[in-house]
Amino acid sequence: MSDLSTAKNQISQMLTMQDAMNSRVSDTWRDNQYEWYRAIWVECAEMLDHHGWKWWKHQEIDVPQVQLELVDIFHFGLSLRLMTGTPVDDIAATLAEDLTQQTSENDFKIALENLASAAVSNKAFDAVALADCMRLMDMDLNELFRQYVGKNTLNFFRQDHGYKEGTYIKIWNGEEDNEVLASLVTQLDASATDFQQQLYNALKEKYPS
């Protein structure tokens, strides 16, 4: 399978998962006029703090946290594209092209500002800018897929265990659910066809009852 067709296949899966997650929160999510673009630029600002931008003090880049924020932004970007009503196959093909492109940008902060700028100015998701951010954080599409499926599965798990009602337990035996997820994701085979189901079952086993 070529890189482009692998990318398209992974993105199609993520689009389907995103639609399912959004529908789990609200059946009418496509008509609700949620401001996904605003979620993107707010997330960009938060990410910049994890990356560091203050020239007047020493800052270390928190790479895992920045990668996690990029995954969150991808959730919002997928939702924006799905809102257009374009068929999933067509969206996946366009995103596969964009996410496998490379520009010459080598400053993460500028790449991130390009991503935020498209969201603020055009209410749009700039996938090429996201690809630049990923490349500059040593994150390829396979890693995006692995982390995306992880976060999507955790979001479903939260919904199934009282997140909306406020009864969900976020700290599991001294660890936040995100940390439990991060460790489980590395133990399982992301290329398995039932990766999402395996992950869900593993979360269920770890969840404090």
> Average pLDDT in the 163-181 region?
92
Cα–Cα distance between 124 and 73 in angstroms, integer? Answer: 12
Cα(184)–Cα(198) distance, rounded to whole angstroms? 10
pLDDT at 1: 44
What length does the chain have?
209
Helix H or strand E encompassing 172: strand 171-172
The CA distances from residue 128 to 21, 100, 155, in Å, are: 24, 8, 26
32-49: pLDDT as tens digits = 889 999 999 999 999 898
Average per-residue pLDDT for the chain = 91
The arithmetic mean of pLDDT across residues 176-203, rounded, is 88
The secondary element (H helix, E strand) that includes residue 176 is strand 175-176
pLDDT tens per residue across span 143-170: 999 999 999 999 999 999 999 899 999 9
**2 has pLDDT over 70:** no
Q: Which two tokens stand for residue 176?
A: 């936040």
Res. 24: pLDDT tops 70: yes
Helix (H, G, I), strand (E, B) or coil at 175: strand
For the whole model, what pTM was predicted?
A: 0.86
Whose structure tokens read 């992301």? 190
Looking at residue 58, its pLDDT comes to 86
Average pLDDT over residues 53-65: 87
- Domain annotation for the chain: domains and CATH numbers: 1-146 (1.10.4010.10), 157-209 (no CATH)
Closest CA to 44 of 141, 135, 126, 105: 126
* CA 84 to centroid of chain Cα atoms: 19
Query: What pLDDT score does 25 carry?
Result: 85
Identify the H or E element spanning 171. strand 171-172
pLDDT tens, residue by residue, 92-142: 999 999 999 889 999 999 999 999 999 999 999 999 999 999 999 999 998
Report how far apart, in Å, the C-alpha atoms of 169 and of each of 132, 176, 180, 193 are: 36, 9, 13, 29
- Split at pLDDT 50, 70, 90, the class of 183 is confident
Provide φ and ψ at 191, rounded to 5°: -90, -5
Query: What integer pLDDT is reported at residue 202 of this predicted model?
Result: 95
Contact 71, 50 (CB under 8 A): no
